[in-house]
């Protein structure tokens, strides 16, 4: 049994299929390698309610629907000498009928809690509870991304909690005491409130809690550079989609880093998804300044007009090396030269073209190989071979050829790229030996 691993899309699809086949939670757990309680929690957390009705009949969850003889309650059904439509077959009368009583299927109160495998589903007009693998996985991805973006709390919720918490803390009360006496009002766990306090969301601070300031937090060596989340304001994936809706023909360049070994040199990759061309630049350190230096150098070498034409929009992940977007977007004279946006946290598929092209680099520089011994000239040689490789997605043309056709070969020459004859292309570690 796989421990400490999340359910994936294939696992959820198997759960949905097993529910249709009326398998028990224990049988489903054995099939996907999880405990039966995990399966139960997964189903109850991601069930979807649908008012689909039955075959040939609309949704109707009134408890009196089987014996109801009322008609015309909603005043919209056609009535004539020859035809009268009963309310039980209307689908709208429940909103107007004073005799309406809601009925819920008793089967949903016990395992499997959903209607996937119910034999009466086709003829039931009650509200259906369905486990859908696709919806469950999308919800999981969304929650996972939000959980890694920091504290997600609205301004209204923050103000509501602050109005309760801060005055009492300033009176000398502890959070534990406040939670005991205001549990119904807070609707937040004590642990969450401590997290909010540490983040400085309330008027009262940690210094206002006498017992808390006595304890010195354990020192921890920072493994990564802390990135100020304010750099992403106005540059989120939603902002990116909105901008592209307004400017649909704007080319996009995707940014990413390729690491060798921890602490060694890294590559900055710039991918043009529309033509499949990828640039790679060697950096001694994986920091923001090295990325800024590369874009400043390209701005000078290509010229402002060509640079703006090639890099109007940049899409990057949430790495610390991309944490200074303003110095990338503007030149030394504060003239805008590009616009930068960020993918959601833990969502590399949102710049899938860049990730896919890294596979070509890994053919030459396998994962775990130190990049430090390689020079920029060797990296450029590698990219020449990769960009000269013909692709099915480009109608059997190479990225070099397609890019040269659209932007001109002089741009490629300024970038240090050249075309490699087809029979001389090497995509293995032998290229850089």
Residues 236-257 have pLDDT tens digits of 999 999 999 999 999 999 999 9
How many domains are there within the chain?
3
- Does residue 209 sit within a domain? yes
Both 141 and 160 in a single domain? no
Looking at residues 168-182, what average pLDDT do you find? Answer: 88
Both 141 and 161 in a single domain? no
- Does residue 3 sit within a domain? no
- Does residue 99 sit within a domain? no
Task: Note the pLDDT of residue 81.
Answer: 41
Task: Note the pLDDT of residue 216.
Answer: 64
Both 35 and 162 in a single domain? no
Both 273 and 332 in a single domain? yes
Half-sphere exposure of residue 335, counting CA atoms within 13 Å on the CB side? 9
Q: What is the pTM of this model?
A: 0.53
* End position of a domain, from candidates 90, 113, 145: 145
Q: Where does the pLDDT of residue 80 fall: very low under 50, low under 70, confident under 90, or very high at 90 and above?
A: very low
pLDDT at 360 over 50: yes
Both 377 and 264 in a single domain? yes
- Does residue 224 sit within a domain? no
* End position of a domain, from candidates 113, 145, 177: 145
pLDDT at 78 over 70: no
Both 51 and 115 in a single domain? yes
Both 320 and 376 in a single domain? yes
Looking at residues 393-418, what average pLDDT do you find? Answer: 93
- Does residue 344 sit within a domain? yes
Task: Note the pLDDT of residue 223.
Answer: 52
- Does residue 240 sit within a domain? yes
Task: Note the pLDDT of residue 22.
Answer: 92
Share of the chain above pLDDT 70, in %: 90
pLDDT at 94 over 50: yes
Domain at 342, CATH number: 3.30.420.10
Both 116 and 204 in a single domain? no
Mean pLDDT lowest among 67-71, 136-140, 183-187: 67-71
Q: Where does the pLDDT of residue 386 fall: very low under 50, low under 70, confident under 90, or very high at 90 and above?
A: very high
- Does residue 87 sit within a domain? no
What is the domain extent for residue 206? 155-214
- Does residue 92 sit within a domain? no
Q: How high does pLDDT run on average in the chain? A: 87
Both 164 and 116 in a single domain? no
Both 52 and 136 in a single domain? yes
Both 48 and 188 in a single domain? no
Both 208 and 322 in a single domain? no
């Amino acid at each position: 049994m796989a421990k400490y691993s999340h359910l994936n899309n294939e696992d959820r699809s198997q759960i949905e299929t097993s529910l249709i086949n009326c398998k028990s939670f224990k049988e489903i757990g054995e099939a996907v390698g999880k405990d039966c309680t995990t399966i139960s929690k997964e189903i109850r957390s991601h069930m979807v309610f649908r008012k689909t009705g039955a075959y040939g009949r609309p949704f109707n969850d009134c408890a009196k629907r089987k014996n109801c003889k009322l008609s015309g309650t909603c005043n919209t059904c056609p009535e004539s000498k020859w035809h009268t439509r009963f309310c039980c077959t209307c689908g709208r009368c429940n909103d107007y009928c004073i005799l309406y009583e809601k009925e819920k299927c008793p089967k949903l109160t016990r395992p499997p809690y959903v209607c996937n495998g119910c034999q009466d589903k086709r003829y039931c007009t009650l509200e259906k509870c369905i486990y859908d693998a696709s919806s469950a996985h999308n919800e999981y991805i969304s929650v996972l991304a939000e959980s890694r973006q920091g504290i997600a709390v609205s301004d209204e919720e923050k103000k509501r909690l602050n109005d309760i918490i801060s005055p009492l803390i300033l009176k000398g009360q502890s959070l534990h005491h406040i939670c005991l006496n205001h549990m119904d009002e807070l609707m937040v766990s004590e642990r969450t409130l401590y997290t909010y306090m540490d983040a400085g969301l309330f008027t009262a601070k940690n210094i206002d809690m006498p017992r808390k300031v006595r304890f010195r937090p354990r020192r921890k060596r920072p493994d990564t550079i802390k990135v100020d989340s304010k750099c992403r304001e106005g540059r989120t994936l939603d902002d990116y989609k909105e901008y592209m809706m307004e400017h649909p023909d704007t080319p996009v360049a995707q940014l990413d880093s390729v690491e060798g070994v921890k602490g060694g040199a890294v590559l900055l990759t710039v991918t043009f998804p529309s033509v499949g061309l990828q640039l790679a630049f060697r950096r001694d350190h994986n920091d923001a300044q090295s990325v800024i230096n590369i874009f400043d150098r390209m701005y000078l070498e290509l010229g402002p007009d060509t640079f703006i034409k090639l890099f109007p929009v940049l899409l990057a992940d949430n790495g610390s090396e991309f944490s200074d977007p303003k110095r990338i977007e503007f030149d030394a004279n504060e003239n805008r030269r590009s616009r930068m946006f960020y993918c959601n946290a833990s969502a590399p598929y949102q710049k899938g073209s860049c990730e896919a092209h890294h596979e070509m680099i890994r053919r030459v520089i396998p994962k775990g190989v130190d990049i430090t011994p390689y020079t920029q000239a060797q990296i450029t040689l590698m990219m020449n071979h990769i960009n000269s490789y013909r692709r099915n997605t480009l109608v059997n043309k190479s990225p070099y050829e397609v890019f040269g056709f659209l932007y001109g070969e002089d741009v490629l020459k300024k970038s240090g790229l050249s075309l490699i004859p087809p029979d001389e292309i090497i995509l293995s570690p032998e290229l850089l030996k």
